[in-house]
Structure 1
C-alpha cells in the first residue's frame, strides 16, 4: 500500500507521495490504464515514469479513489477532462504533490532543498524580501519564498512570471509550518498561502478564495 500524506483545508485536499516506490507498485494501485498508457510509453527513463504515475496516484487519492483523465490547456496548465475539480500538481526529487478543489483555482509547489536558491535569490526576491534575507541569511526564508511564488504562478500564470517584480510576500514569522500572505503587484490582489518545511522538501499551496 502506497502511503499518501494528506492535508484537508477549506474544501481542498493536498496529497504528497514520496519518490520511493517502483513503477510496478504505482501501477498496481491505478485501474484506468487507458488514461495513462500512451503518455507513459513516451517517457524514456524509469524516474520520469515513476514521477508521472505518482502524480496520477496522488490525484486519485486526493479525489477519494476516483481516477480522472488529465488534459492540458494551451498554456500548459493541467485540468481534468470532465472539469469536476480544479487541480494543480508539482514534483521534485523528493516527492510529488497534488491539490484539488471543487470550485476554486489552486496552486501547489514542492521543492527539494537546494543551495541553488542562494545563487539565484536576486532573481525571485523583491526589494523588501531581499533586505530581509540580507539581514538574516535565512535559508528557510529562501525555500518558503521560492515555493510560495511558484504556487502563485500556478494560479496567476504569465502575469506573474517576474517573481521579483510582480509577487511580494508580506512580513511573516518563519516556522516549519505556517501561513503567510502575498500580493500580486500588478492587480494589488492579496493571496493567502500555507507552507510546510522538512528536511526532504518544501510544500506551499494556495486556494484562490480572496
Structure 2
C-alpha cells in the first residue's frame, strides 16, 4: 500500500493518504482484528466498503508506527476514536483512496472526495445563496468540492450530531487554487467560531480538505 501523501500539519498533527491497491486478503493479513471487528466487516455487502474500512485501519497502524493491536471505535455521535490512546483522529475515503489525520493536541477533521460534476445538482442542499453567489463556488465544480470538503472536515472536527452544513457552516470568500485555504464561520452551541480549512486537489481528480484546531 503506497502512502502517496504524508505531511506534518503542525508539531502535533499528521495527515496521510493511501492509494488502495491491495486485495482484501492482503489487508486482512496486516491487521489484528477482534471478534467485534470481524462482525462489522462481515456485515459489509460490497468489496469497496470493506477495502475502505481495512485501509483506514492499516493507515492508522503505519502512522502510529506500531505492530500492536489498535482499537478504533466510534462514539455515540459517530466520531472515531482510539481506545487507550491520547491521539485524536479523523478518517475519510473515496473510491481508490483512504485518508487519515491524527493529532495529540487538536481535534481534527479530514474529507476526501472524487470530483464529479453531479455535485452541481445538490449544491443548494449544503450551500446558502450567499455562498453560491461567490464566483469561486457558484457553478464551479472544483469550488463546490472545496466547499463540500471544508464543511465535511469541519463537521468531523466538531464530532457532534446536530451541526448542519447549510445552516451552521458559512464559507467566507476565498481565492480558488489547486492548493489553498479558506475561513469558515461555524455556529456552535457555545458560540460562533472561525476556522481555517486547508484544501488541495490531487493530480488524478480528488479534492481533500482538512482542519486541526482546539475543540
Asked if Structure 1 and Structure 2 have the same fold, meaning a TM-score greater than 0.5 normalized by the shorter chain, the answer is yes
Q: What do the CA deviations read for 1:143-181 (whole angstroms, capped 9, x no partner)? A: 1000100111112233422x1221111121111111211
Shift of 1:132: 1.3
> Which ranges of structure 1 fall in alignment gaps of 5 or more residues?
none
Shift of 1:28: 3.5
Is 1:46 aligned to 2:47, yes or no? yes
Residues of 1 paired with 2:137 and 2:74: CA distance? 42
Shift of 1:26: 1.9
Q: TM-score, normalised by structure 2?
A: 0.87
Of stretches 5-14 and 17-26 in structure 1, the one that deviates more from structure 2 is 17-26
Which residue is 2:201 aligned to? 197
Summarize the alignment of residues 8-23 of structure 1 with structure 2, pairs less than 5 Å apart: 8-10=8-10, 11-23=12-24
Which residue is 1:58 aligned to? 59
Q: Is the 8 A contact 2:116 2:141 kept in 1?
A: no
Residues of 2 paired with 1:65 and 1:49: CA distance? 22
Summarize the alignment of residues 108-119 of structure 1 with structure 2, pairs less than 5 Å apart: 108-119=110-121
Q: Is the 8 A contact 2:137 2:144 kept in 1?
A: no
Report which of the two has the higher share of helix: 1
- Count of matched residue positions in the alignment of Structure 1 and Structure 2: 207
Which residue is 1:151 aligned to? 153
Q: What do the CA deviations read for 1:53-108 (whole angstroms, capped 9, x no partner)? A: 10101111222335511111111211111142101101111311111101311111
Cα pair distance change 1:134/1:173, threshold 3 Å = closer
Which residue is 1:179 aligned to? 181
Q: Is the 8 A contact 2:8 2:14 kept in 1?
A: yes
Q: Is the 8 A contact 1:15 1:59 kept in 2?
A: no
Shift of 1:138: 1.9
Q: Is the 8 A contact 1:16 1:95 kept in 2?
A: yes
Q: What do the CA deviations read for 1:103-162 (whole angstroms, capped 9, x no partner)? A: 31111111111222100111111232111148863221101000100111112233422x
Which residue is 1:103 aligned to? 105
Q: TM-score, normalised by structure 1?
A: 0.89
Which residue is 2:92 aligned to? 90
> Which ranges of structure 2 fall in alignment gaps of 5 or more residues?
none
